[in-house]
Structure 1
Amino acid sequence: MNPNNIKWLYLIVLSVIWGSSFILIKKALIGLSPIHLGALRVVFTGLFLFIAGYKNIKTVKIKQWKWLAISGFLGSFFPAYLFAFAETEIDSSVTSILNSLVPLNTIILGILVFKIKSSRWQILGVVIGLLGSVMLIASGAVINTDQNYFYAIFIIMATVMYAANVNIIKRYLQDVAALTIAVGNFSVIIIPAIIVLLCSGFFTNEVFLSPNFSGSIGYLLVLSLFGTAIAKVLFNKLVQIATPVFASSVTYLMPVIAVFWGVLDGESFSFLQVIASIVILLGVYLANKK
């Protein structure tokens, strides 16, 4: 398949997977606390990845472990908790929309920190996509007046971490296989995640006997396998075969999927948000125009 077509295929598949992850987080929070959800997500994903690629660890060079560790904490560990806390107050669809800040932060960090050049088309596309995201946020705030948008800070923090992670993979882990990056990430962060579980009172009858516990674990397993383990490998590969900005553009398409699931779950969505979604897609096109 043409390399250009492959990167678009990865982008679409990741958009569907990650766009569906927000509703899975929302459902998992019914029977789990944000701390438990974040830690279990890391543990479950780590186990899935070890089963698939534990042999890949042997190929990692000593000098690469530092960047694998940083990538793991910025791209997976801390965001798992930040998104869980955010969705205790903000709808899953709005959370996905705020996540669209990733490409803008990717360009800013790429230029200021990692010295990665971006074209005028990329910058214009990101700005237009961000404008569409702002339109979605504004219209969502009008519809959902009972939501605490202070929790949006958690999402903004996560987007900065995601942007840094994209640039780290592109600059320092370009020659490491996508699966190896994911396995290396989680071999580092699974230990602190287990410690969090042990210290957070998870292993108690109060948690295990909760009427919604088993259902939440089911949603979390699906989230960990598809939304984190498989998606991480696909995303790492996408970063390597495309530009950091193109890879982070997945956050422009995710809200379309997330809003679809949100509407099915009873969340409000207006005509203005449909227009904003079209603006976002325009931004994706321009950001990747040669």
Structure 2
Amino acid sequence: MKTPNIKWIYLLILSLIWGSSFILIKKSLLGLTAYQLGALRTILTGIILLTFGFHKLKTVETSKWKWLLISGLLGSFIPSFFFAIAETEIDSAVASILNSLVPLNTILLGFAVFKITSTKRQVLGVIIGFIGTALLILKGAELNPNQNYLYAGFVIASTVMYAANVNIVKRYLQDVKPLAIAAGNYIFIVIPAVIILFFSDFFTAETFNNPNIINALIYVTILSVFGTAIAKVVFFKLVQLSTPVFASSVTYIMPLVALGWGLLDGEAFSIVQIFAALLILVGVYLANKRKA
């Protein structure tokens, strides 16, 4: 199979997995606090990745370790808490929509900081996708006037971190095996997550007397295994196979999946949002279309 076909398959898989992550966060928060969720997600994912990927760490050059640390903080640790905090106030679908800012930030950071060039067509595609995202946000605000959009800042900050991370992986970790990158990320951030969990009142009677705690733990386990551990390895492989902009365009398709889950969960959806979703798909196409 040719590489172009493989990267599109990876993109679709990631879109389905990560698009479902937002509803899993929402359901997990019914029995956990944002800090408990972020810490548990990091710990469970770390256990999985280090169990299967620890042996890969011996292949990592010494000069790469600082980038694995930075990548772990920006691409996993901080966003896992920020998204949980954000979804205590805003809808899961809205969080996914805001996450679509990643490709725009990827291009801007790639050009300004990492000196990775982008074509005019890529820029146009990102702009069109961003317009679609803006329409989705505005309509979401209209349908959900009681949501506190100040908390959207946590998602926006995370998109900047994700954009920096994808450029770091492409520029400095291109020759490191995807499983080694993922395991290397978590070897640094598991211990801080354990400390946060300890001080989050997780190990108290109040937490375990919550009638939603069992379901919440099931949801966060699914989120950790599929939405983080497996998805991380697939994502790093996708970055290496393609470009930072192509890899980050997964955030354009994710809202469609997230909105579908939101609709099933009773969240509002409108004709304008359907139109905005189509704009997003057009943006993905243009951002990744090859020149003749």
Shorter-chain TM-score tier: over 0.9
**Cα distance in 2 for residues equivalent to 1:59 and 1:193:** 26
Residue 74 of structure 1 is matched in structure 2 by: 74
Deviations 1:243-288 (CA, angstroms, capped at 9, x unpaired): 0000000000000000000000000010100000000000000000
Once the two structures are superposed, the pairs formed by residues 43-122 of structure 1 within 5 Å of their partners are 43-122=43-122
CA drift at 1:204: 1.2
**Cα distance in 1 for residues equivalent to 2:167 and 2:240:** 10
**Cα distance in 1 for residues equivalent to 2:223 and 2:63:** 31
- Number of aligned residue pairs: 290
Residue 255 of structure 2 is matched in structure 1 by: 255
**Cα distance in 1 for residues equivalent to 2:187 and 2:77:** 11
**Cα distance in 2 for residues equivalent to 1:62 and 1:194:** 26
> What amino acid maps onto 1:223 in structure 2?
L
Residue 18 of structure 1 is matched in structure 2 by: 18
CA drift at 1:63: 1.1
CA drift at 1:21: 0.3
CA drift at 1:61: 1.6
Residue 150 of structure 2 is matched in structure 1 by: 150
> What amino acid maps onto 1:241 in structure 2?
L
Residue 215 of structure 1 is matched in structure 2 by: 215
CA drift at 1:209: 2.0
Residue 184 of structure 2 is matched in structure 1 by: 184
SS in 2 for 1:11: helix
Residue 159 of structure 2 is matched in structure 1 by: 159
Deviates more, 1:104-113 or 1:51-60: 51-60
**Cα distance in 1 for residues equivalent to 2:173 and 2:51:** 22
Residue 194 of structure 2 is matched in structure 1 by: 194
> What amino acid maps onto 2:89 in structure 1?
E
Gaps of 5+ in 1: none
**Cα distance in 2 for residues equivalent to 1:199 and 1:96:** 29
**Cα distance in 1 for residues equivalent to 2:202 and 2:191:** 16
> What amino acid maps onto 1:9 in structure 2?
I
> What amino acid maps onto 2:106 in structure 1?
T
> What amino acid maps onto 1:44 in structure 2?
L
**Cα distance in 2 for residues equivalent to 1:57 and 1:192:** 20
CA drift at 1:59: 1.1
Gaps of 5+ in 2: none
